[in-house]
Amino acid sequence: MGGAGVVLLLLLLLAGAGAGVAWRPPQGKCPPSCSCSKDSALCEGSPDLPESFSPTLLSLSLVRTGITQLKAGSFLRVPTLHLLLFTSNSFSVIEDDAFAGLSHLQYLFIEDNDIGSISKNALRGLRSLTHLSLASNNLETLPRFLFRGLETLTHVDLRGNPIQCDCRVLWLLQWMPTVNASVGTGACPGPTALAHMQLRHLDPKTFKCRAIELSWFQTVGEAALGVESFSYQGEPHIILAQPFAGRCLILTWDYSLQRFRPEEELSAPSVVSCKPLVLGPSFFVLAARLWGGSQLWARPGPGLRLAPTQALAPRRLLRPNDAELLWLDGQPCFVVADASKAGSTTLLCRDGPGFYPRQSLHAWHRDTDAEALELDGRPHLLLASASQRPVLFHWLGGRFERRTDIPEAEDVYATRHFRAGGDVFLCLTRYIGDSMVMRWDGSMFRLLQRLPSRGAHVFQPLLIARDQLAILGSDFAFSQVLRLEPDKGLLEPLQELGPPALAAPRAFARVTVAGRRFLFAACFKGPTQIYQHHELDLSA
C-alpha cells in the first residue's frame, strides 16, 4: 500500500471513534479553510499555520497551504496529535524542534512537498513515532543524525527523492542496518558512477569520505638544510640545521602563545645535519659540518645546556652530506655519508662517553645520502652516491657487508623508506629525470612507480595520523604531497604545498603536540615553513 493509501486508512480509523456522532467544534476551534470532525482536522489552502485547534486533536492534515517554513514549536498547541500529514506544500526549511511537544505522535507523513532543507534536529522529541514518510519531497540529501532518538520507528519511506549517493549519504547507509525498521529508498540519480543503482544496495565500505589537507601555520626565519623531530622529557621538540645562520636551532611548543619558539641553539658553522639522540635523561646532538669538523654535543640531564664534547672522525669526515641514527646490537650508532673523494662514509658507535669510528664504508664514492632500514629482521644500510647506483649493505658479523645494489636507479641523490601493509617501500630522489618508488620483494627492490621530479632534492615519506604520505620537493615548482592508496598500492597526488611556496625544500619532519599535527619543511633558499594537518569528514 502506498503512502497516500496508508494515510487515508489511518484517517478513517481515527475518525471511526466519532462515527455517527454529531459534533460541532467549539467556537473558534476549527479555523477557516479547515474541515473538522471530533478528533481530526483537514486544512487545505490555508495561508498560514492555524493556531486555534482543539487541544485534544488526534490527527491533522495540511494540504496546499501557504506555509513556507516550520519553525521550532509549531505544534505546541496540539500536544495530543497521533497523526500529522503535509501534502503539496512548499517549505524553505523545517527548523530544529519543529515538532516539539508531540510526544504522542505516531504517524508523520511529509509527502509530495517541495522542501529546501531539513534541520538535523527537526524530528527531535518524537519518541512515539513509528511511521515516517518523507517520500517525494525533492530532497537531494538528508542531514546526518536526522533520525537520532527515534527508537520506535518501524517504517521509513524515502522513495521519490533524488538523494545523491555521495559521501553525504554514508551515514544513512550505516544507519539502516542498525535499526529494526523497514526503510524504503529509491535509485541513485548520481554521481555518474552510481547512477541508477539502488541506494540500499550500496556498500558503505566502498565510500572514501575522509579527506586531509595541510594548511600553512607558521614561518621560522633562516634557511635550513635539515629538520628532525624528537621527544625529550616527554615534550616534543624540533631541531633545524641552519648553515647560513651557523647553528643547530632547537624549537619547542609554547603552550601560552600556541606557537613554536626557539629553546636553545648550538654554534655550528656550515652545518648540514643536526641529528638528535635521547638516552634517558641524556641528550646528544651530532652536528655534521662541511668545514671545521663535525662535533658531538651533549646535555647530561634536564636543566643543563648542551655543550660540545667531542670532535668526530676528523680524518674521515671531510665533507659530510647526511647523517642518520641507527641501533646495532643494542647500541646507538651514527652513520655519516661523506661526499668528498678523500673522505669516507663512516659508522660511529657509542663507546663510553663518546662515539668512535667502527667502520669505514664505501670509500672514494662521494656518498650523498645514507638510509638505515630493517629487512628480513636484520639492520641494513642504503648509501646513495654521485658515482654509482645506490648500494645496499646488511649487518653481518659485527660489520656492514655489501648485499646488492638498486637496479635501474642511476643518478639517485637520496633514498628514504617506509612500511605499509607488511611491505617495505623505497622513495628514490632524482634531480634530473623521474623519481621512483620501489618495493622490496625479499631479495631486491623492484620498480613500482615513476614520478616526474625535475629539480628534486627530497622525496620523503611521512606517516601522519592514518595517512602514509610522501612529499616530493622541487626547486622549480610547487612541492607535491602524495598519499598511498592501499587498494592500488601506489602514491596518488593529494595537494600542492603552499602558499607560501617552498623555496628549495631539502627535508621534512612531522611532530604532534597538544593534540595537533604539524609538518615542518626545511628550505635551502628560504625560511622553514610549518603546516598543520587537518582531517575533513566529507560525510558530515
Contact 296, 310 (CB under 8 A): yes
pLDDT of residue 15: 42
Q: What is the pLDDT of residue 7?
A: 46
Assess whether pLDDT exceeds 60 at residue 28. no
- Exposure on the CB side of residue 367, measured as CA atoms within 13 A: 29
Concatenate the DSSP letters of all residues of 235-250 into one string: EEEEEEEETTTTEEEE
**Centroid of chain to Cα 235:** 24
pLDDT-based confidence at residue 364 (cuts at 50, 70, 90): low
Surface-to-core class of residue 448, CB atoms within 10 Å of its CB (0-12 exposed, 13-18 middle, 19+ buried): middle
pLDDT exceeds 60 at position 14: no
pTM assigned to the model: 0.82
pLDDT band for position 135 (cuts 50, 70, 90): very high
Q: How does pLDDT run across 69-95, given as a tens digit for each residue?
A: 899 999 998 999 999 999 999 988 999
Question: What is the rounded distance in angstroms from the CA atom of residue 33 to the CA atom of residue 112?
Answer: 20
pLDDT at residue 13 above 60?
no
Task: Indicate if the pLDDT at residue 34 is higher than 70.
Answer: yes
Q: Which residue in this structure is represented by grid cell 662515539?
A: 355
156-186 pLDDT, tens digit per residue, is 999 999 999 999 999 999 999 999 999 999 9
How confident is the model at residue 379, as a pLDDT? 98
Percent of the chain with pLDDT over 70: 94
- Condensed to tens digits (0 to 9), the pLDDT of residues 208-264 reads 898 999 999 999 999 999 999 999 999 999 999 999 999 999 999 999 999 999 999
pLDDT in tens, 454-469: 889 999 999 999 999 9
- Residue 386: pLDDT band (50, 70, 90) is confident
pLDDT at 175: 95
Percent of the chain with pLDDT over 90: 79
At 150, list the grid cell. Answer: 527515534
Is residue 503's pLDDT more than 50? Answer: yes
